[in-house]
Amino acid sequence: MANIKSAAKRAQIAERNRLRNKSYRSAVHTLTKNYLNALSQYTANPSPEQLAEVNQRLSTVVSKIDKAVKCGVLHRNTGARRKARLSRIFNKATQPS
């Protein structure tokens, strides 16, 4: 434990920020997983309703990634890379075969 008051305060702030960052990372991970599950359901049984659900989940996860980048939880290149990967998976799954 810190002996100096300012060091104790910095430790408290660091813990607060760690928990905030953890919640953003967890939300991004959960939303990505939900998106990929919806996409796999769409590829198994394509329908306009499933496609609308996939689009809605993609926009949700992209929005959360953007917010995490804005708050400094993710680096901007990391956010861009994750969004590009999700879009590439979407385009591969929805292009006509």
First to last CA, the chain: 61
Q: 61 vs 24, 51, 87, CA distance in Å?
A: 11, 15, 11
Contact 79, 68 (CB under 8 A): yes
Asked whether residue 96 carries a pLDDT value surpassing 80, the answer given is: no
The residues spanned by each domain of the chain are: 5-94
Q: Which residues contact 62 (CB under 8 A, 6 or more apart)?
A: 83, 86
> What sections of the chain are H helices per DSSP?
5-44, 48-71, 76-94
Name the superfamily (CATH) of residues 5-94. Ribosomal protein S20 (1.20.58.110)
Cα 27 from Cα 67, distance rounded (Å): 11
pTM of the shown model: 0.88
pLDDT digits (tens, 9 = 90+) for 41-94: 999 999 999 999 999 999 999 999 999 999 999 999 999 999 999 999 999 998
